[in-house]
Amino acid sequence: MSATPSASAAATPPMHAILAQPWDLICIGGGMAGLCASNRAWQLGLRALILEAGVEDIYACNTRRSGGAIHCCMADITDPEEKILERIERDTAGAARPDLALAIARDGRRAVQWLRAEGAQFIRVGLTGQNHVLAPPRPARPGWNWEGRGPDVLVRRLGTNLLRRGGHIVRGARVTELLMRDGVCVGVVAQWQGDSYRLAARAVMVADGGFQANADLMRRFISPAPDKVQARNAQTGRGDGFRMVEAVGGHFVGHESGFYGHIMARESFDDPRLSPYPFVDTLACAGMVVSHDGNRFTDEGRGGTFVANEMARGDDPTDAVVIFDQAIWDGPGTKKALPPNPIFPLSGGRVIMASSIPELAAKARIHPERLAATVEAFNAHVRDGRGDTLAVPRTVKKIPAFPLLHPPFGAILACPGITYTMGGIAIDGHARVLNEADLPIPGLYAAGAATGGLDGGPYSGYVGGLSKAATFGLRGAEHACASISGAVASQAVGAV
Ligand SMILES: Cc1cc2nc3c(=O)[nH]c(=O)nc-3n(C[C@H](O)[C@H](O)[C@H](O)COP(=O)(O)OP(=O)(O)OC[C@H]3O[C@@H](n4cnc5c(N)ncnc54)[C@H](O)[C@@H]3O)c2cc1C
């Protein structure tokens, strides 16, 4: 195995020396998925390397900027297997691939244990499902507050562990192509300091974090107007992995899955205090969401991520106004971490208040008669428990509906905010990339937010970003070991 600079030169000797070594596993991306895979590979006797597009020492990635809660469907990842399978089935409406769901149910707990052994520290934050939050936790403040917090500390720690084991994170190395020989993935092409390098490896793992920063793929799978979807993410998932995998016969799964995200203030495009937190899901999902024509267009009872996806699918994703009353503001509006009441106005968010629905319509530029009719119909149906018979149904199985009765009424001009894309590269339970015939492409793995088939489904069910990245990072490395070396195989498979 060798690394051959296609244009000689500018590589500094130490880096060139790194690139010239033989590698068993190359991970594309140094977030949770790539870091777990590469460290696990070294534990199992393989030589693993991370090629990371970010240049900075503290390079950006979603993992570093996350809230650090390792969960499954917002509940405890260490719950018994059957419970976890039930939750995934429920939240994805059966859309999750059974082998992927089983992998999380079996190995989510093991991923937490493995991370702990690598030096991760967890605390319980006291909310449902927040039993394993990377410590120190992010402060309950709006805006980006990630530096020195649990997920950032973990990324640094796993990077140090990799170095200690003999591996490297080559920063500034953006992978642009997968090398194939006779249908087997045998390496990658990476761009580094202006040169193109071919690196051979016995296995490659795509762990590039999804495509939320790729306008073309966003248009293809998420929204006709990606510039009107707020990026509450690190903007490092550029879809390179999916593009490369598609070029060698892999394919996309989860067309309807959309993205994990939230309902945010429209002003968040201009005001950094309003992204990635606070979001206003609790107000929207207890009350209602209308477009400026005064009509509801989505089932608020399906939750914030579902509503945000429905907003994104519209011709104008920012044509959405969250409507609520005093009872919602004082009730559901005060629940959850960083609740809109009082955090949203304190962060500079604009709450339009009015003593009547017609006055609210005028202030928020919503069609007045239509809004009045929409509220009246909504209230009548909700009062009689017939929300599901509305023209646009309002289900109550997941989130109760509140009639809008108690003035003053409130409105927030909204937009969808994307955290990460939930559809992606098709993989199996061992993180092997699958072709259109559902058969593994030898030597090629993918993990984390680059992959599809677990999260999503018709109601955009969120299973878990970090648990998915860690579990499939570990599983992919273990399978790569098993297929590269029979001796390692028994050890690796035994651990799964
Ligand atoms: C604000 C926020 C809060 C979140 N909170 C939570 C939470 O509490 N719990 C939870 O489970 N999930 C949470 N998530 C989601 C979670 O962070 C992600 O799902 C997870 O970190 C994905 O890990 P990953 O390794 O797949 O991708 P990433 O962490 O994004 O890493 C991908 C890496 O690949 C690199 N890369 C991209 N393209 C290339 C290329 N061509 N060549 C080389 N390198 C490349 C990128 O630079 C990046 O460093 C949150 C995300 C955000 C943004």
Dmax over CA atoms of the chain, in Å, equals 75
Check pocket membership of 131 for ligand 1, CB cut-off 6 A.
Answer: no
CA nearest to 212, candidates 239, 193, 188, 194: 239
Closest residue by Cα to atom 19, ligand 1, is 465
Binding site membership of 420 for ligand 1 (Cβ less than 6 Å): yes
Q: Which two tokens stand for residue 248?
A: 């060698």
For residues 192 and 394, give the distance between their C-alpha atoms in angstroms, rounded to a whole number: 52
**CA of residue 31 to ligand 1 center, whole Å:** 6
Ligand 1 lined by 473 (C-beta under 6 Å): no
Q: How confident is the model at residue 85 (pLDDT cuts 50, 70, 90)?
A: very high
* pLDDT of 4 over the 70 cut: no
Assess whether the C-beta atom of 472 lies below 6 angstroms from ligand 1: no
> What is the number of H-type helices and E-type strands within the chain?
16, 22
Q: Is 321 in the pocket of ligand 1 (CB under 6 A)?
A: no
> DSSP states of 301-353 as a string?
GG-HHHHHHHHHHSSSTT--EEEEEHHHHHTGGG-SSS-HHHHHHHTT---EE
- Mind listing the pLDDT tens digit for each residue in 343-355? 999 999 999 999 9
- Mean pLDDT in residue range 255-275: 94
Output b/e per residue, 241-251; b: 16+ Cβ within 10 A.
bbbbbeebbbb
Instruction: Indicate if the pLDDT at residue 7 is higher than 50.
Output: no
Please list the residues that pair with 421 across neighbouring strands: 259
- 15 — pLDDT class (breaks 50, 70, 90): low
Q: Is the pLDDT of residue 489 over 80?
A: no
Where does the pLDDT of residue 5 fall: very low under 50, low under 70, confident under 90, or very high at 90 and above? very low
| Range 143-160 average pLDDT | 95
Higher pLDDT, 202 or 17: 202
CA nearest ligand 1 atom 16, residue: 465
Q: Residue 331: how many CA atoms within 13 Å on its side-chain side?
A: 15
pLDDT band at 128 (very low <50, low <70, confident <90, very high): low
Ligand 1 within 6 A of CB of 174: yes
Omega of the bond leading into 342 within 30 degrees of 0 (cis): yes
| Cα(251) to centroid(ligand 1), Å | 21
pLDDT attached to residue 77: 95
Q: At what angle do helices 98-117 and 81-91 cross, to 10 degrees?
A: 120
User: In this structure, what DSSP letter does residue 8 have?
Assistant: -
- Tens of pLDDT along 427-447? 999 999 999 999 999 999 999
Q: Say if ligand 1 is within 6 A of residue 53 CB.
A: yes
pTM: 0.94
Q: What is the pLDDT of residue 14?
A: 53
Q: Is the model's pLDDT at 410 over the cut of 80?
A: yes
Q: How confident is the model at residue 130 (pLDDT cuts 50, 70, 90)?
A: confident
The crossing angle, in degrees rounded to 10, of helices 486-495 and 465-484 is 150
- Mean pLDDT of the 208-236 span: 97
pLDDT band at residue 9, thresholds of 50, 70 and 90? Answer: very low
Q: Is 205 in the pocket of ligand 1 (CB under 6 A)?
A: no
pLDDT band at 337 (very low <50, low <70, confident <90, very high): confident
Residue with the smallest CA separation from ligand 1 atom 50 is 66
Does any ligand 1 atom lie closer than 6 A to the CB of residue 77?
A: no
- Contacts made by residues 145-152, CB under 8 angstroms, sequence distance 24+: 146/64, 146/65, 146/66, 147/58, 149/68, 150/68, 150/120, 150/121, 151/63, 151/64, 151/65, 151/66, 151/67, 151/68, 151/466, 152/58, 152/64, 152/65
| pLDDT-derived band at 52, boundaries 50, 70, 90 | very high
Strand partners, 230: 417
Q: 214 CA to middle of ligand 1, Å?
A: 14
pLDDT at 21: 84
287 lines ligand 1 (CB under 6 A): no
Q: Which pLDDT value is given to residue 492?
A: 35
Q: Which residue has the tokens 């992919």?
A: 476
- What mean pLDDT is reported for the chain? 92
Distance 239 CA to ligand 1 centre (A): 12
Query: Percentage of the chain surpassing pLDDT 90?
Result: 87
The model's pLDDT over 343-396, given as tens digits with 9 standing for 90+, comes to 999 999 999 999 999 999 999 999 999 999 999 999 999 999 999 999 999 999
For residue 234, the CA-to-ligand 1 centroid distance in Å is 8
Tell me, using a 6 A CB cutoff, whether residue 30 lines ligand 1.
yes
Closest CA to 206 of 451, 480, 455: 451
Whether the pLDDT of residue 488 is over 50: the answer is no
Q: Is residue 55 over pLDDT 50? A: yes
Q: Which atom of ligand 1 is nearest to the CA of 240?
A: 41
Query: How much distance in Å is there from the Cα of 96 to the middle of ligand 1?
Result: 20
Q: Is 460 in the pocket of ligand 1 (CB under 6 A)?
A: no
- Ligand 1, residues 19, 40, 61, 244: which to mutate, most atoms within 8 A of Cβ? 61
Q: What is the pLDDT of residue 144?
A: 86
* 3-state percent breakdown (helix, strand, coil) of the chain, nearest 5: 40, 25, 40
Query: Going by CA atoms, what residue is nearest to atom 49 of ligand 1?
Result: 61
